[in-house]
Structure 1
């Protein structure tokens, strides 16, 4: 069934399409009676008319969308929280967040030309030709840190290194050997690599042995296999890639009859709601996602307002949330 158009509203109201356009866009300085305005609005509501976003973009040159480009990552609580907070912050200015996952064969160029966004936020570096084309089209392009120049993906991420360092520093107080629970989802390897590097560097600084790395799937049997291996290598604490993997490690410890933290301490990353409900409650590293979302929203709004002074990055906000597991 075709959607209701402004022509339908005009026909039902007994006025021209131009009059409908003036009324529904709130255009001032046009001699239209209040009775006519009321009739047009009531007709639009009764018919269920909604203005076309595409048409609005053609008129203004831009839509009211902020396009977030996600690579092919699994979307967990951290990304969900970031996007929710970003949408809340921007909604007060009449902006909507559109999320695109980098899956499938559709080109980025086709996407941004279709929706004509006000701004594009990239959660990973763009190809050089995509970045140039968007900026030539007058689209504001941001990374998640608001950087003008894209980070080199071959270099370790400062924030991910810091996460691993915090984990190892907390576990290192036990002066035992640290294990690292590597995620089995290959899409997470870019983060796991840098977090593990942070753990390794911290172990070196603390005079601890090289961490023992084991893959841990999100099931009890796989986690129990890793726990047995760590036990044989005298591991006293495990730094897990994230809270999901850490919860699997806790399950593996229970399956092997080991207590936590007495037999083996565990620390995760993300501070998901389930972390505080675990038995024992999970110690973790928080990324302060709400703060990052507010910063991204402030960057977008500062550009729209033509502000010369850009918001100052608040820092990564990483900190250990200490609970019973470590």
Structure 2
């Protein structure tokens, strides 16, 4: 007997008949059960039968054996899913797969299904949130036996709502790079309200360094990621008293808009205005001039977060400390 029986789901019993062994032997072999003396030839026959039939273990049965689901639900805020966020999702998927966990992502972009409907339908083992969500929702998840790792990105803050991956060090790294040669800094803030959870802490990092080094408060301008939206900000920075000579941009997209605005005004970076971004997008090195930026080691962040989820599921994790700063300044021409 080969092929999928009658178009229905292939079961362990089908594999047992195909391999001419007991159902228990199929279970022992396919689950790699320890302390079972099964000849290697029998093991091979069972695996070959399972392959021929296209057998896939029942997720419900696997969850029952483990005592939990193998799903980790990732909650994305209503942010643009660009290069860096997409890369982090891929790296988290790979890091969790090493622990036999499946990473599924749910975006809060309108009109998404209510979060409660999603987690109740999936019954994940854990939830990993890139931004905080109501504690009442988190409490309901925990009551259902779901581990919750909340507020991955955001402000270092304090207490239970502090971020595992704080954003202040990014702004601080930008400011420290510019401060030795610039006495007045500007900050290019994004024009999307949902990004405030990232932009606010990054700006605070710039402010802290300016205060520490005795520099004036940074001149903050909201900049949309297009040349026209950045022109007025560039004019305002240059007209300030004293003028702004170095700009920390929220990310590379905003920084590239500032560079484009400089070109449209007949100005150049870094001669007329130095610019530093965040993310090291593939296009940053191709910009005119090439963009100096802050790069973050998202692969290490993904592996650290995956281990924290595993420790939480195993009950071996204590209070989670923030992920260590994994930043580098990619120095190019613009700053």
Whether TM-score is above 0.5 comes out as yes
CA contact (8 A) 1:64 1:95 kept: yes
Whole-Å separation in 2 of the counterparts to 1:97 and 1:15: 36
For the pair 1:280 / 2:285, whether they are aligned, the reply is: no
Whole-Å separation in 1 of the counterparts to 2:235 and 2:114: 46
Offset at residue 35 of structure 1 (A): 9.2
CA contact (8 A) 1:281 1:324 kept: yes
* Greater Cα offset, 305-314 or 272-281: 305-314
Matches within 5 A, 1:223-234: 223-233=230-240, 234=243
* Greater Cα offset, 198-207 or 81-90: 198-207
Whole-Å separation in 1 of the counterparts to 2:293 and 2:161: 27
| Offset from partner CA, 1:291-326 (integer Å, 9 cap, x none) | 222211221233445547788755222343322211
Offset at residue 138 of structure 1 (A): 2.8
Whole-Å separation in 1 of the counterparts to 2:199 and 2:323: 24
Offset at residue 204 of structure 1 (A): 3.6
Which residue number in structure 1 is paired with residue 250 of structure 2? 241
CA contact (8 A) 2:126 2:313 kept: no
Offset at residue 46 of structure 1 (A): 4.2
Gaps of 5+ in 2: 1-6
For the pair 1:111 / 2:121, whether they are aligned, the reply is: no
CA contact (8 A) 1:85 1:290 kept: yes
Instruction: Give the alignment partner of residue 72 of structure 2, picking from 55, 66, 72.
Output: 66
Which residue number in structure 2 is paired with residue 84 of structure 1? 90
Which residue number in structure 1 is paired with residue 132 of structure 2? 125
Q: 1:182 to 1:115 in 2, by over 3 A?
A: same
Instruction: Give the alignment partner of residue 6 of structure 1, picking from 8, 11, 17.
Output: 11
Whole-Å separation in 2 of the counterparts to 1:292 and 1:222: 33
* Greater Cα offset, 242-251 or 310-319: 310-319
Which residue number in structure 2 is paired with residue 175 of structure 1? 182
Task: Give the alignment's Cα RMSD to 1 decimal.
Answer: 3.8
CA contact (8 A) 2:16 2:46 kept: no
* Greater Cα offset, 7-16 or 290-299: 7-16
Which residue number in structure 1 is paired with residue 4 of structure 2? none
- Find the residue that maps to 1:235 and give its secondary structure: coil
Which residue number in structure 2 is paired with residue 140 of structure 1? 147
Task: Give the number of equivalent residue pairs.
Answer: 323
Offset at residue 181 of structure 1 (A): 1.3
Instruction: Give the alignment partner of residue 150 of structure 1, picking from 148, 157, 160.
Output: 160
Gaps of 5+ in 1: none
Instruction: Give the alignment partner of residue 275 of structure 2, picking from 263, 266, 284.
Output: 266
Instruction: Give the alignment partner of residue 59 of structure 2, picking from 53, 57, 69.
Output: 53
TM-score computed with the length of structure 1 as normaliser: 0.80
Q: 1:115 to 1:199 in 2, by over 3 A?
A: same
Q: 1:191 to 1:38 in 2, by over 3 A?
A: closer
| Offset from partner CA, 1:194-249 (integer Å, 9 cap, x none) | 22233234334434333333222222222233323323333211111111111111
CA contact (8 A) 1:183 1:215 kept: yes
Offset at residue 265 of structure 1 (A): 0.3
Offset at residue 285 of structure 1 (A): 2.1
Q: 1:306 to 1:148 in 2, by over 3 A?
A: farther
Whole-Å separation in 2 of the counterparts to 1:52 and 1:254: 59
CA contact (8 A) 1:175 1:208 kept: no
Whole-Å separation in 1 of the counterparts to 2:285 and 2:132: 34
